[in-house]
Amino acid sequence: MEAKIKTVGCKKCHNQGYYIVNENEFSHAKLCTCVENCKHCGGKGYISYKNENNYDLLGKCPGCSLIRSNIKKYNLTKIPSKFSQVMMVDTYFPKTGDQQKALKYVKDSFIRHYPNEPGFLLMGPPGVGKTHLAIGAISELTLEKGISCMFKDFFLLLAELRQAYSEGVAENEILRPLIDAEVIVIDEMGKGKCNEWEINILDQLISNRYNSSKKTLITTNFPSKEYSDHVYEKGELLEERIGERIFSRLNEMCNFLYIEAEDFRMK
């Protein structure tokens, strides 16, 4: 017996059935009291029913089990706590044509028609909302569509791998969840030394996701050659930072979008 529709919600949670809080370093979704007191199941998350042979069975609650499941998926994405209020892409307010174009693709193409559209790669200077848009996308996919997603800052991934090596933990234990997730955000791609080891890690991640046709969302401060007149960080292009092999695969996996705007942090 499958949960098909959401039949709970109140003014407190804006009829969503959940709210987002900061919990240490990550954003965390919690059940609203309207779900905890679900009129269908009394907050158990399941209901009893009789099948065609008149046997008593347990099934998912049609009122709240879907919300409970989606909340669990959101809490596994590991979205940084500073983005706890980015529950939807509608919290992104474009000021320039580039920002409007990026929002339109993320909202009206990628999310609305998931999984029939490519992922996206957002490039541009700091403070133009690249990470905001990417997190808005995976927040909406998990909470509203039940898609398993993960967020990972590439620089922090490298730090986790170095720590894993020092503790004798296999590299695959760190990379496998990122390879297996239906959708991932790789934030700040190209950041770091981009030495042979770092490129190899990125290559493993991208190649595995490419071969399994999984959606990958990327943010980077390095523009591609198409936007070479906008080079600003270390004077390097994206393909120079990550290598032609990875860049070639990303061209097939992602819709490239360049965002030019004022740095909202400076404002």
CATH topology of domain 81-258: Rossmann fold (3.40.50)
Q: What is the pLDDT along the chain (267 residues), one digit of tens a residue?
A: 343 445 567 888 888 899 999 988 999 999 998 888 888 888 888 888 778 887 778 888 988 899 999 999 999 999 999 999 898 899 999 999 999 999 999 999 999 999 999 999 999 999 999 999 999 999 999 999 999 999 999 999 999 999 999 999 999 999 999 999 999 999 999 998 899 999 999 999 999 999 999 999 999 999 999 988 877 666 789 999 999 999 999 999 999 999 999 888 776
3-state secondary structure of 107: helix
Q: What is the largest CA-CA distance in the chain?
A: 72
At 70-109, the pLDDT tens digits run 999 999 999 999 999 898 899 999 999 999 999 999 999 9
State the residue for tokens 């200077």. 125
Distance (Å, whole) CA 141 – CA 216: 13
Q: Locate tokens 């990026």: which residue?
A: 102
CA 3 to each of CA 45, 218, 244, 256: distance values in angstroms, whole numbers, following the listed order: 10, 33, 46, 37
User: What is the C-alpha separation between 125 and 102, in angstroms, rounded?
Assistant: 14
Q: Is 130 within 8 Å of 174 (Cβ atoms)?
A: no
**Where does the chain have alpha helices with state H?**
33-36, 65-75, 97-104, 130-145, 154-166, 171-180, 196-211, 238-242, 244-253
Structure tokens at 7: 């039949």
Taking the C-alpha atoms of residue 199 and residue 33, their distance in angstroms, rounded to an integer, is 47
Domain map (residue ranges) of the chain: 18-75, 81-258
Reading the block at residue 200, the tokens are 């190899």
